[in-house]
Structure 1
Amino acid sequence: MNQYPFETARTQTKESAVVVNKVLRNTYMLLAMTLGFSALTAGFAMASNAAPVNIWMMLIGFYGLLFLTHKLANSAWGLLAVFALTGFMGYTLGPILNMYMATSNGSQLVMTALGGTAAIFVGLSGYALVSRKDFSFLSGFMVAGFIVLLVAMVVNIFVQMPALQLALSAGFMLFSSAAILMQTGAIVNGGERNYILATVTLYVSLYNIFISLLNLLTAFSGDE
């Protein structure tokens, strides 16, 4: 009779592993699709020489679509919302890339930032998947970091200090790296079951890391 609790626990463990694998598979599949769609909208914006999106319009569009995605994350409409969000972010990226590509070594900077972003994501995700650590202890850092970065970003809109811009880029890289660790760890340890929300977190982290790397590489190359 004592074997039944062990059999039950073993079955639950197997079921949990199946669910985790399913969430991981759906998350990475959706992430790949949204990155591809984002690249298409960015390419369209570049080809049409779209004007840079006003910073306030960008913030309103981003947070509005982010709120909508979270609101609809448990329904099929959440998929449309996440593509709307990532498509919008890709479109805003187009004019930024055109600006960098206009510099003497712009294509090299963009490719280096792209490769660096991929390496950071693979390294952090791989570490979280292999170690299976619980990174929820980073939640306090994430909340404090978000408030500091948001305030610094608003201040930078008005003062436009080069040193503050570099500090913001470094801060966003650290914040986004922590978000990748925490989100991947949450999936692996059963704390995240919604692949739409997981995808949004990873996408925004990748976007921030890419933009931050571009800013830092440009500053250190002396091409600003």
Structure 2
Amino acid sequence: MNDNPRVIALPRDQRLPGNGGDSLATERPEVTRVLRNTYALLSLTLLFSAGVAAAGVAFQWPAPGLVLTLVGFFGLLFAVHKLQNSGWALPAVFALTGFMGYTLGPMLSHTLALPGGAQTIVTALGATGATFVSLSAYVLTTRRDFSFMGGFLFAGIVVALMLMLAAFFFQMPALALAVSGLVALLSVGLILFETSRIVSGGETNYVLATVGLYVSVFNLFTSLLSLLGMGGDE
């Protein structure tokens, strides 16, 4: 079983303001601005994270392990929230996403060592991209309110985190794969939830919006990678 656990962020706010017919993004310049800045920063952080992960594969960087992964992720996430309105917010975001790219490197190396590993990575990456674009387009065109998912997502993430720790400490590969499936579903819900918050004006800080979407995309990719790679892993 892979010893590089994924990280899961809890929804920041379970309450989402209603987004009736008068809350079109095109009719609210602040929403358009947040969306534009969020997707621009998200693209840069994904590229940066991918570059760090590629370097990890090339130089065979060791896996950070459970403790360092959790401490590093939650510590940097806390820093992003503390610095969200300062000039240090962007460096904190890139530090967080770079660290997550570092944790991804060993997982990619492990997958590449399996039969058909390169194809598995490409398939997981394509499925992640297609899912994110489809879900984002759905929310942006329908402007549907997904605030009702907040409580379910919060409970699901807590359960997934507990099961992930159990699978790690008790070395239960079958449970780890089940957790991967659960995290993939939760990530889909979080993408809908986070995008809906931006469109409705519930999230006005593009730094926090970027981090929320980035973590969801990261977890979706790593979950799909685990599920697709299970055939070649003992």
TM-score (norm 2): 0.87
Unaligned residue ranges in structure 1 (runs of 5+): 1-11
SS in structure 2 of the partner of residue 43 of structure 1: helix
Q: Does 1:82 align with 2:67?
A: no
Residue 130 (structure 2) aligns with = 119
Distance 2:147 2:196 in 1: 8
Deviations 1:72-128 (A, max 9, x none): 112221111100000000011111101111112000000000000001101111111
1:145-179 Cα deviation digits (max 9, x unpaired)? 12101111111121121221111001111111111
Percent of aligned positions that are identical: 53
Contact 2:84 2:208 in 1 (8 A): yes
Partner of 1:37: 48
Moved over 2 A (4+): 12-16, 221-224
Q: Counterpart of 2:181?
A: 170
* Equivalent of residue 81 in structure 2, options 49, 70, 75: 70
AA at the equivalent of 1:152: L
Counterpart CA distance in 2 for 1:65 and 1:100 is 27
Q: CA separation of 1:119/1:15 partners in 2, compared to 1, >3 Å: closer, same or farther? A: closer
Q: Which letter maps to 1:181?
A: L
Distance 1:192 1:41 in 2: 29
Aligned to 2:228: 217
Give 1:46's match in structure 2, choosing from 52, 57, 65: 57
For residues 25-44 of structure 1, give each alpha carbon's deviation from its aligned partner in whole angstroms, at most 9, with x where no partner exists: 00000000001110111111
Aligned length: 212
Q: Counterpart of 1:84 in structure 2: which amino acid?
A: A
Point out the more displaced range, 113-122 or 43-52. 43-52
Q: Which is greater in Rg?
A: 1
RMSD value, Cα? 1.6
The 3 A distance-change label for structure 1 pair 69 and 103 is same
Per mean C-alpha deviation after superposition, the further-off stretch among 12-21 and 68-77 is: 12-21
Offset at 1:223? 4.0
- Compute the displacement of 1:13 (Å): 8.0
Structure with bigger helix share is 1
Deviation at 1:53, TM superposition (A): 1.2
**CA distance in 2 between partners of 1:13 and 1:139 (Å):** 22
The one of 53, 70, 78 aligned to 1:59: 70
User: Could you tell me how far apart the structure 2 residues matched to 1:217 and 1:44 are?
Assistant: 23
